[in-house]
Structure 1
Amino acid sequence: MVLLLVVFRLRRPDSRSSVVRASDGLLDHLQLLFIPAGVGVIQHLPLISGSWLPIVAGLLIAWAATLAATAGAGAASLRLQARLTQRGAARPAAE
């Protein structure tokens, strides 16, 4: 995935290209893509209201797992950065 991101970053299309124009058009009207989801929620509101506890529990568990994963990734990144900084400081300066 990171490799794909690097390739796309290096091969950025021109601002006049059809890809940029199409994506700008989609991004300008992105809010319209949420209308079907909202209609589905309203349509199934009786079912959702009957099962609100498992839905809320699932949302809270997913939120907590995401928060823990983000904190773990951040902590690992800081440890790696500190280790690399210490290695760089321990090395004699190249002349």
Structure 2
Amino acid sequence: MITKKDVYRVANERLYYLFSLAFQTGDERYIDLMERIGRRMDITLPQDIKRMYCKKCKKPYKNVRVRLKKNVITVTCLECGDIRRFQINR
């Protein structure tokens, strides 16, 4: 019998596989598929995946500018110009 835990495990594996494909090819459709799987299964994307692609242009971060000021990491996507800020806890 398939349990809910098994379904989430398969979905999580699929998320990581799709992200690896997206990072290799640079194609945004894999990231769109990842987000749709997450919404359909009602799971949040893992934090390490969430911080590795631009939410605006849906492309993996390959061409970015990273700045560190006090306790904030600022990541600027040079493809679309979107800026994301992450708080660091020290």
Q: What is the TM-score of this pair, normalised by structure 1?
A: 0.26
Structure having the higher helix fraction is 1
Whose relative contact order is higher, 1 or 2, with alpha carbons under 8 Å and at least 6 apart? 2
Q: What is the TM-score of this pair, normalised by structure 2?
A: 0.27
Structure whose alpha-carbon radius of gyration is higher: 1
